[in-house]
Structure 1
Amino acid sequence: MSLSPSACAVPNQFVEVEERRLAYRVIGAGTPLVLCLRFRGTMDDWDPAFLDALASRGFQVYVFDYSGLGWSTGQPTYDPAALAKDAIDLIGALQLGRVVLGGWSIGGIAAQLVLLLAPQLLSHLLLIATTPPGPLVKTGEPLFYQLAARDNDFEDFVSLFFEPASASSREAALRSAERIAQRSEGRCTPVPYAWAAQSLGDGPRNPMFPLQAALDALKQTQTPVLHVGGDHDIVFPVENWYALNRALPTLQLLTLPSSGHGPQSQYPEASAAHIAAFIYGECAADPA
């Protein structure tokens, strides 16, 4: 039996939906898991070790570019409602039925909006290094806004997604950057940082996701929710999820040590194993 291609080698695919073309890739076979991207991300910015680890645990992983970014056509925007629509349209166009929906950073905000707008599409909600709706107990750091608005080198990569004070995290960042660079065919056009910066604002806000209806949906949902975070996330501090863990009936929290805004890139195997246990292990709390 031949092995499935690695995330570094799977081809770009395209689906036409509502006068735009959404680009996507598929890794593995099994339970459909759709992943929404981070700010300034394209399909190339997922660590292939994380995607391959998910595929090895029985997931058919779908990654895609938002409208107008990467290989996708259409009007680019970082309006979370538009990003959520991209996910909804992709799921519908590919006839995936109910999926595990995941989202990293702003992609996690988009995924929470899908839970609000089209809960019938989700079996589970997987959130990675993102923010909950509503008031925050801790805001992000101004450093993120400096780094996210410029062209980034390796040191910026470490500061954004890892823990610069940790030698082991720095080593993990180097390995992750090397893996991300492995793809040679069909790489995406990077998101222009000057354009993306227009969506940022000058610094942290409170709340970052000011939609009461989304918070109400999380408080009322029967859909199992897992948040995977780093213990020093300069963008969306994980402490904000712990402040809600008595209010959200299906929420589970995993915090990984000495890590930042990309915990799944620092711990690809461990993250995938925890996610698989969450999905397949029937470990979601019964809200009744």
Structure 2
Amino acid sequence: MTTATAITTPNQFVESNGRRIAYRSIGTGKPIVLCTRFRGNMDVWDPAFLDALAARGFQVITFDYSGLGLSTGEKDYSPVALAKDARDLIEALDLKSVVISGWSLGGLAAQVVVAMFPERLSHVVLIGTSPPGPNVKPAEQLFYDTAGKPVNSFEDEIILFFEPRSQASREAARRSADRIAQRTENRSVPVPADWAASVLGDKPKSPLFPADPILQALKATTLPILHVAGDHDIIFPVENWYALNQELPTVQLLTYPRAGHGPHHEHPEATAEHIATFVRSTS
């Protein structure tokens, strides 16, 4: 029997609260549910990162938010709505002791899951996202100018997710893009660019993510939390997490040098190994 990989695993669907949620699953073991980024669907994840997680004993689950990709229902980019998608998928699949994870916008959703629906969670892994509350370092205008384009070129993706000033990061961007392109059948549907741009806006704002009650939940939770970042994230600067040192008792911070908003795509194996070690060594 051939083991499914991130490239070959089929699309699956569950019905929950009047809509159909599309998801993919690879690997067996402890479930990790990944909430995707802005303008993301199941196909924006680097297969090397997903396969590396599966190889380390995780059941890796990606999904499309309501009304986007292959999922039905009303589309809504508010973190609360996205968190409800994750909660409903976890309940529909009857998952327990779940690692809730999210990249960028998905990281905001994952934090709402911690605050509102923590019952089935064991750990939290956040990637390139923002903590709640005012920012000590704002996002860069360059992100808004680039992310709002109807179509992003490869150079745009380097700007958005990698470190353009680093040749090593540029080379990693090419390898990641080539891996993502390997899935050619049964792909998800792109997020409508005009709708996404209208939600994003055209300039930085603070706070990007309202503080209460999410910040209070992070201060009170006993769930171990790992945040993975690059040292030059143009939308969610990692400095905003370091500003909360000694306020968030369970948060660990992993920061890659000369990396951007997609550190797990630049360092897929290393990030998967860090996540596995984090989950194995904390409770």
TM range (shorter): over 0.9
Identify the residue that residue 80 of structure 1 maps to in structure 2: 79
Alpha-carbon separation, structure 2, partners of 1:49 and 1:202: 33
Identify the residue that residue 197 of structure 2 maps to in structure 1: 197
Contact 1:148 1:193 in 2 (8 A): no
What amino acid is aligned across from residue 239 of structure 2 in structure 1?
E
Alpha-carbon separation, structure 2, partners of 1:242 and 1:266: 22
Sequence identity of aligned pairs in percent?
62
Alpha-carbon separation, structure 1, partners of 2:72 and 2:40: 15
Q: Secondary structure at the match of 2:43?
A: helix
1:230-241 alignment runs, 5 A limit: 230-241=230-241
What amino acid is aligned across from residue 33 of structure 1 in structure 2?
I
Identify the residue that residue 51 of structure 1 maps to in structure 2: 50
What amino acid is aligned across from residue 252 of structure 1 in structure 2?
Q
Contact 1:129 1:230 in 2 (8 A): yes
Alpha-carbon separation, structure 1, partners of 2:3 and 2:187: 19
Alpha-carbon separation, structure 2, partners of 1:31 and 1:98: 7
1:116-195 alignment runs, 5 A limit: 116-150=115-149, 151-195=151-195
Alpha-carbon separation, structure 2, partners of 1:98 and 1:65: 21
What amino acid is aligned across from residue 64 of structure 2 in structure 1?
D
Alpha-carbon separation, structure 2, partners of 1:42 and 1:236: 20
Contact 1:99 1:123 in 2 (8 A): yes
Q: Which 5+ residue runs of structure 2 have no aligned equivalent?
A: none
Contact 1:145 1:203 in 2 (8 A): yes
TM-score (norm 1): 0.96
Identify the residue that residue 212 of structure 2 maps to in structure 1: 212
Contact 2:30 2:97 in 1 (8 A): no
Alpha-carbon separation, structure 1, partners of 2:117 and 2:5: 31
Contact 2:134 2:211 in 1 (8 A): no
Identify the residue that residue 29 of structure 2 maps to in structure 1: 30
Q: Secondary structure at the match of 1:45?
A: coil
Offset at residue 188 of structure 1 (A): 0.9
Alpha-carbon separation, structure 2, partners of 1:37 and 1:23: 13
Offset at residue 3 of structure 1 (A): 5.5
Alpha-carbon separation, structure 2, partners of 1:245 and 1:193: 36
Alpha-carbon separation, structure 1, partners of 2:147 and 2:202: 11
Alpha-carbon separation, structure 1, partners of 2:138 and 2:70: 33
Offset at residue 27 of structure 1 (A): 1.0
What whole-Å deviation, never above 9, does each CA across 1:237-261 have from its counterpart, x for those lacking one?
A: 0001011121100000000111111
Offset at residue 162 of structure 1 (A): 0.2
Quick one: structure 1 residues 74 and 108, their matched pair in 2 at CA, closer, same or farther if it must change by over 3 Å?
A: same
Q: Secondary structure at the match of 1:35?
A: strand
What amino acid is aligned across from residue 212 of structure 1 in structure 2?
D
Alpha-carbon separation, structure 1, partners of 2:78 and 2:212: 17
CA RMSD of aligned residues (A): 0.9
Alpha-carbon separation, structure 1, partners of 2:51 and 2:159: 25
Alpha-carbon separation, structure 2, partners of 1:130 and 1:97: 25
Contact 1:140 1:204 in 2 (8 A): yes
Offset at residue 64 of structure 1 (A): 0.1
Alpha-carbon separation, structure 1, partners of 2:277 and 2:2: 23
Alpha-carbon separation, structure 2, partners of 1:194 and 1:149: 8
Contact 1:33 1:101 in 2 (8 A): yes
Count residues with an aligned counterpart.
282
Offset at residue 4 of structure 1 (A): 2.3
Identify the residue that residue 100 of structure 1 maps to in structure 2: 99
Alpha-carbon separation, structure 2, partners of 1:67 and 1:119: 21
Q: Which 5+ residue runs of structure 1 have no aligned equivalent?
A: none
